[in-house]
Amino acid sequence: MSCRVGVDVGGTFTDLVGLAGDGAIEVRKVVSTPEDPAVGLFRALDEFETRESGSGKREPVDVLVHGTTVATNALLERRGAKVVLVTTAGFEDLLWLRRQDRADLYDLARDHPAPPLARERVVGVAERMGPNGPLLPLTDAEVARVAHAVREVAPPAEAVAVALLFAFRHPLHEQRLAAALRAALPRVPVAASHEILPVFREYERTSTTVAEAYLRPVVGPYVARTDGEARRRGVCELRIMTSSGGTLAPEAAASHAAALALSGPAGGVVGARLVGEAVGITDLLTLDMGGTSADASLVSRGAALFETAGVVGGVPLALPAVLIETVSAGGGSIAWVDDGGALRVGPRSAGAVPGPACYDRGGTEPTVTDACVALGWLDPAHPLADAVRLDGAAAEQALGAVARRLDCDVAGAAAGIVEIVAAVMARALKRVSVARGVDPRRLALLPFGGAGGLFGCALADTLGMRTVVVPPHPGVLSALGLAAAAARVDLVASLHLPLAALNARALEEAYAPLAARAGAELPEATLHRLADCRVAGQGYEVTVSVVDPDPAALRAAFLTAHRARYGFADADQPVEVVNVRVVAERPVATPEFGVNRTRRTLTPRHRTVRIHGQPVPADVWPLEGLPPGHPIAGPAVLAGADATVLLESGWVATVHACGALIAERR
């Protein structure tokens, strides 16, 4: 019997979840290896014990789904390739002009992050396309000159991005230039905008194309090496998670490097959606709090929300991605006191090496995890994960430096640290809900990740929410989502026509080429049609599902979506269809969370913890193995193999049959 395995490489831990054919879930958690993420990945895989068949042989891993931060880290740390940009003459400064908006409206000294290449590495081309075709032809001599100019750029180009005006509608000039550059520089990847993002808005299209070129030389070798090592270990197929919540084959992932920018966090949202389905709750605010950061997202009516434009590491990317708001609020986030005497947390993180001081792996700076140990939320006698054991004395020693700067005791410093990090996460949750017109009080909060369960009740109280769902295996939910993620292909084409000028046949014809291509790239997939629509004259679009190609139905769907997103919709205004999209998905079997039928009677232990600065007696329960329906009243601590949950006063939790914990405000 074969199995699917998901591996999520985080900043501190690498998580593995195996889904066997009979529905069994197996978990492994090892310390990440920042110098080479693949080392931690294969260490987790080596420790994964597949069930044995009747012959005594180890079962093969049928599919390994990998959520990688290689692309994310390359953008954040600016460790990508040396890129040359080829663009229409006169538009060489586009990446620096951006949208001519300020990084901060009221801070005149603050600048946007610089593009991932220097201005002298931009080559202008004497050509010009207009909306109706060529305005200035591209000559063979100019093609040869551009190829020579790119070859002469120093340091030599490691990747080339080609982004010309109106190439999304008329790609001929881009095609000729890309072909010439690929012939002149056979070992240098060339990314052309009509292949990466064939839609209007030159700035976003150019920035995304540059990001693709910047990442390919980093992502491609990593994916190829990981694929080769996986096959050597008997893995039948490797899939790579994308920002949109689907998976790609290694070859496709290597040529869609920018689509991996939010690879890991997307898996967590997939896992959260599955848990919501298991407990019968379809509207969720999700929070993945790991060792380095926290990721907030939203699940509405059982589906993850998507956006088609975002920023990663200061680089705009106009590619489909699960809606995720990331903040520097992880267990390893370092606490410090600024020159004005104010307590701060992050953005620096202790990461996996050396890690928080309490890990006793060489770290000396105080972190959120150290604060949780000092408050009694984490028990030093309880193994955290892998070979990590907590050292309470080391945590208090590290926190002592902050306490002295603040002129308070260690407990007071720890309480301040967790209060600050909770406020940062609350703001992230508001940005994905309140800022989008969604009332969080009508949703349930689903915290996960190694530290998410410690802050669930506090965050729910801050947002006025009355239900918290702690999933089974909360510390590895992202890896579970990876293992259960569908294969997916996202395609888009520019249309930019008034809806009134279209009929059902014209809409079908617009989708036909995309549908044919999607079917060829992902056979036996289910196709979903989407449209980016807007009121004529607006500068932004709303993406709606196109179930019926009838223009009247599309208009009604747009008005409904616009009203839900912005609070109003003018039915008398003309509507434009800007882009058409096709999403091909080939889903896999949904994991079946094991039904817990145990009836054993458990007696809690007790210890004192500090909540909101006050010492309170708390019951201590195991997170796994409690019988269904078992009630737990806060304050209580539930310690599991991969995460710990803090149930605050005024909250009562019940164990769901699938193993989830449903907590309600009294």
- List average pLDDT for each run of 10 residues in the chain, which is 666 residues long: 84 86 78 86 81 50 91 88 97 93 85 92 97 95 97 96 97 97 97 96 96 97 95 93 94 95 89 94 95 91 88 89 90 93 91 88 93 95 77 95 95 96 96 92 96 96 97 93 93 94 94 95 94 92 91 94 88 94 90 66 89 94 89 93 93 93 94
Alpha helix stretches (DSSP H) within 339-493 = 368-374, 392-406, 410-432, 452-463, 477-483
Yes or no: say if 20 and 589 are a contact pair by the CB < 8 Å rule: no
Q: Among 580, 637, 554, 614, which residue's Cα sits nearest to residue 168? A: 580
Yes or no: say if 51 and 21 are a contact pair by the CB < 8 Å rule: no
Alpha-carbon gap, residue 482 to 280, rounded angstroms: 21
pLDDT in the model for residue 247:
94
Alpha-carbon gap, residue 95 to 116, rounded angstroms: 9
AA letter at 435: A
- Please give the C-alpha separations between residue 125 and each of 143, 173, 393, in angstroms, as whole numbers: 8, 10, 64
* 156: DSSP letter: P
Question: pTM for the full model?
Answer: 0.89
Yes or no: say if 500 and 572 are a contact pair by the CB < 8 Å rule: no
Judged by phi (left if over 0) then psi (alpha if -120 to 50, else beta), residue 388 lies in beta
Same fold, 3-74+220-260 and 487-586: no
AA letter at 612: H
CA angle 223, 74, 82 (to 5 degrees): 95
- Pairs from 316-319 (Cβ < 8 Å, separation ≥ 24): 316/203, 316/204, 316/207, 316/208, 317/207, 317/208, 317/211, 317/258, 317/261, 318/197, 318/199, 318/201, 318/204, 318/205, 318/207, 318/208, 319/197, 319/208, 319/243, 319/244, 319/258, 319/259, 319/261, 319/490
110 is written with which tokens? 């603050």
pLDDT in the model for residue 215:
97
Yes or no: say if 160 and 185 are a contact pair by the CB < 8 Å rule: yes
488 Cβ partners below 8 Å, 6+ apart?
A: 242, 244, 245, 246, 247, 248, 522, 583, 584, 585, 586
127 Cβ partners below 8 Å, 6+ apart?
A: 88, 89, 134, 136, 137, 138, 142, 164, 173
311 is written with which tokens? 């920023």
Yes or no: say if 606 and 620 are a contact pair by the CB < 8 Å rule: yes
pLDDT in the model for residue 21:
66
Yes or no: say if 361 and 4 are a contact pair by the CB < 8 Å rule: no
Q: Among 354, 323, 252, which residue's Cα sits nearest to residue 11? A: 354
* 243: DSSP letter: T
111 Cβ partners below 8 Å, 6+ apart?
A: 103
338 is written with which tokens? 């600024």
Give the alpha-carbon dihedral of 440, 446, 451, 453, to 10 degrees: 100
Q: Is 487-586 CATH 3.30.1490?
A: yes
Q: Enumerate the domain spans of the chain.
A: 3-74+220-260, 80-214, 487-586
What angle, 0 to 180 degrees and rounded to 10, lies between the N-to-C axes of helices 551-566 and 504-521?
Answer: 80
Alpha-carbon gap, residue 333 to 344, rounded angstroms: 10
Fold of 80-214: Rossmann fold (3.40.50)
Alpha-carbon gap, residue 292 to 294, rounded angstroms: 7
Q: Which CATH architecture has domain 3-74+220-260?
A: 2-Layer Sandwich (3.30)
pLDDT in the model for residue 313:
82
pLDDT in the model for residue 295:
92
